[in-house]
Amino acid sequence: MATTTATLILSSADVTGHNFSMTQTATLTKAASSTGLDEFTGITSRTYAGAQTNTIIIAKGDYVDTTVSHKVYIRNTSTGNSDYILVELEDDVIVGRLYPGDWMFIPYLGVLNVEVTTLAVGVGIEYGVFSQSTIS
């Protein structure tokens, strides 16, 4: 059985004028189960030579069974201050902007394509999907 653990650590000495620290850990499991997710696309890295508009990075057709668990990871690997990535679901649901160094990790139902839009040349991105093959 695969075991994949995600840990998020947030800390700051000055975001609220006080020290702040929070740690959350989750084991990625199949839907309605304590069994670990058993599929991973691996991390895909891309650097776009030109601006992109609604470029599909995760196709809904690859995740047609919506009764299973999927998790999506996306990171902006660029270094320029204005090299943001706009993350959208199916051309019209804007998730938000990932500025250089920003990343996201979200649950994914698989019914909408995950797309990116970039404005700058040479924007870098990495992404991957953790999922399960069937209900167990």
User: Could you tell me which residue, 13 or 89, shows the higher pLDDT?
Assistant: 89
The pLDDT value given to residue 103: 97
> Residues 31-49: what's their mean pLDDT?
91
Position 136 pLDDT exceeds 60 = no
CA angle 75, 41, 120 (to 5 degrees): 30
Position 60 pLDDT exceeds 80 = yes
Task: Collapse the DSSP code of 112 into the 3-class scheme (helix H, G, I; strand E, B; otherwise coil) and give the result.
Answer: coil
Could you write out the DSSP letters of every residue in 21-71? EEEEEEE-B-TTSSSBP-EE---EEEEESS-EEEEEEE-GGGG--TTS-EE
- Domains present along the chain, CATH in parentheses: 33-131 (2.60.120.10)
> Residues 1-20: what's their mean pLDDT?
84
Position 134 pLDDT exceeds 80 = no
d(CA 56, CA 115): 4
CB atoms within 10 A of CB 115: 22
d(CA 94, CA 63): 20
- Give residue-wise pLDDT tens across range 87-111: 999 978 999 999 999 999 999 988 9
The pLDDT value given to residue 15: 78
Placement of tokens 């670990």 in the chain: 36
Placement of tokens 């891309």 in the chain: 46
User: By the 8 A CB rule, do 5 and 25 touch?
Assistant: yes
Name the pTM for this structure.
Answer: 0.89
Contacts of 16 (CB under 8 A, 6+ apart): none
User: Could you tell me which residue, 81 or 84, shows the higher pLDDT?
Assistant: 84
What percent of the chain clears pLDDT 70, i.e. is strictly above it?
97
Placement of tokens 């690997």 in the chain: 77
The pLDDT value given to residue 99: 96
